[in-house]
Amino acid sequence: MQLFDRHVSARSLTVFGGETILISGSMVLAATVSRHTLAFDTVWKILLATAVCELCFYYNDLYDQTIVRSGRELAAHVMQAAGVAAMALALATLAVPSFALGHGGFVLSVCLVLIAIPLWRLTIARVAGDPHLEERVLILGTGPAAAAVAHEIRTQHEYGYRLVGMVSEACAAQLPALVADQNVHRIVVSLEDRRGTMPTAELLHAKLAGIRVEDAATIYERITGKILTDGLKPSWFIFSDGFRASRITRIVKRAIDVVASAIGLMLGAPLMALTALAIWIDDPGPVLFHQERVGANGRVFTLSKFRSMRLDAESGTPIWATDRDTRVTRVGRFIRLARLDELPQLRNVLRGDMSLVGPRPERPYFVERLAHDIPFYTERHAVKPGLTGWAQVKYRYGSTVEDAMEKLRYDLYYIKHLSLVFDLTIAIDTVKVIISGKGAK
């Protein structure tokens, strides 16, 4: 299903909704026991505390099905997340004593959460693992795109899909028998060339029999949060849903950019001054460096960043940063890890060259090269580049053409589903990435 124009699995919504009820319910019970009544002013405290707990659970990867799998991992993550949430709520209570749920209510609510959440997760895991609830998928096609979809179906844990087989174009006539024999619920069409090879009659019969029929790009996008560019035709962009952010969305997005960047520059001024001083002491010279980048509609602008490399870091042909790049200074490595080197770009956001959220801007030299090697690469310039983006929070730092291709898949997904709520989720993810230190070079 889609929520705020983004794909979300029913399992994820069930887990999140159930935990929200359990956490808030535990706090209601704790507040009632400690006070013998539930006052009206307690409701906002419970809502805020629930939001803090959910955020701590999220930052501890409790909603990432690829990380939290076994019961032992679940218990460890729950304990860790509950501990962080408990400390956050304790600090809030110390700062604002009226935030307390009542005598003993805080401890009781934490204990209830530690019992309820693991039980809920184990129940969901057992129910979701029931073979009768799986959706059996048959792929029509055996090419690279079909193989990519098959790989994602095998490795995903969100949608309950089970791959039962792949059928080549030559065996398309056997489709009805295969559907009946394998009890297929969904057919994914991934033919390299559909002209003259599409088994239209067989697919129509399956569709009318209640079996879902969709193309490879659709299910790949739903599962992965990125666009399947393998074999993609320009007509897909023309006829696909999405890629149509409203004028109001763009106006509000720009207003948020202006307000947030102005506030960020004012509040961050002392931190930026300290960062500049540390850079100069560590490696005397200019603390900022300026570089041409490609923005919306291919317009070139000058981007500013805190210098994190030696003054002689690059001469001649531009090169990408690499793991443990020897050109990075001691202070430079820290400010990259903490993303402090990006702070001067708030000025670019204020000027309108960039947005807070969007595809990361690339240098003209690399854009020319990548546009030659990667189909549809220039389509990422349909929106303003951002300080952070969907590709940045979902994929590691890229230093190869293959990395750029993978990031393009995420960038195209962002452009297709652009919305203010999507931007908010990316901002929350960015904080998580900064805390974890993932993706820094």
Q: What is the pLDDT of residues 258-290, one digit of tens each?
A: 999 999 999 999 999 999 999 999 989 999 999
Domain assignment present for residue 242? The answer is no
Domain assignment present for residue 229? The answer is no
Please indicate, yes or no, whether residues 300 and 427 belong to a single structural domain of this protein: yes
The band of 71, judged by pLDDT with boundaries at 50, 70 and 90, is: low
Full domain range(s) for residue 73: 2-128
Choosing from 128, 157, 184, the residue where a domain stops is: 128
Domain assignment present for residue 238? The answer is no
Please, are residues 22 and 62 in contact by the beta-carbon 8 Å criterion? no
Domain assignment present for residue 176? The answer is yes
Residue 4 pLDDT: 61
Domain assignment present for residue 98? The answer is yes
Please indicate, yes or no, whether residues 205 and 261 belong to a single structural domain of this protein: no
- CA-nearest of 379, 401, 390 to 355 is 390
Instruction: Dump strand ranges (E) for 43-178.
Output: 135-140, 161-167
Mean pLDDT for all residues in the chain: 86
Residue 241 pLDDT: 82
Domain assignment present for residue 237? The answer is no
Please indicate, yes or no, whether residues 217 and 361 belong to a single structural domain of this protein: no
Please indicate, yes or no, whether residues 139 and 89 belong to a single structural domain of this protein: no
The two three-digit tokens of residue 328, written as one number? 């990075």
Please indicate, yes or no, whether residues 181 and 59 belong to a single structural domain of this protein: no
What's the rounded Cα separation, in Å, for the pair 160 and 10? 10
Amino acid at 429: D
Domain assignment present for residue 234? The answer is no
Residues 6+ apart with CB under 8 A from 159: 9, 11, 135, 222, 223
Helices 330-337 and 269-282 cross at an angle (nearest 10°) of 150
The two three-digit tokens of residue 234, written as one number? 């320009």
Please indicate, yes or no, whether residues 288 and 406 belong to a single structural domain of this protein: yes
User: What's the whole-model pTM score?
Assistant: 0.87
Residue 411 pLDDT: 96
What's the rounded Cα separation, in Å, for the pair 151 and 149? 5
Please indicate, yes or no, whether residues 154 and 213 belong to a single structural domain of this protein: yes
Residues 6+ apart with CB under 8 A from 266: none
> For 111-125, 224-238, 381-395, which range has the lowest pLDDT when averaged over its residues?
111-125
Please, are residues 360 and 389 in contact by the beta-carbon 8 Å criterion? yes
Mean pLDDT along residues 54-75: 74
The band of 41, judged by pLDDT with boundaries at 50, 70 and 90, is: low
Domain assignment present for residue 17? The answer is yes
Mean pLDDT along residues 5-22: 82
Residue 107 pLDDT: 75
What's the rounded Cα separation, in Å, for the pair 191 and 274? 57
Amino acid at 329: T
Query: How many structural domains are present in the chain?
Result: 3
Please indicate, yes or no, whether residues 168 and 116 belong to a single structural domain of this protein: no
Please indicate, yes or no, whether residues 345 and 382 belong to a single structural domain of this protein: yes
Please indicate, yes or no, whether residues 177 and 119 belong to a single structural domain of this protein: no
Please indicate, yes or no, whether residues 408 and 287 belong to a single structural domain of this protein: yes
What's the rounded Cα separation, in Å, for the pair 345 and 191? 44
Per residue in 142-199, pLDDT tens?
889 999 999 999 988 788 899 999 998 888 888 999 999 999 999 999 987 766 678 8
Please indicate, yes or no, whether residues 278 and 425 belong to a single structural domain of this protein: yes
Per residue in 333-373, pLDDT tens?
999 888 899 999 999 999 999 999 999 999 999 999 999 99
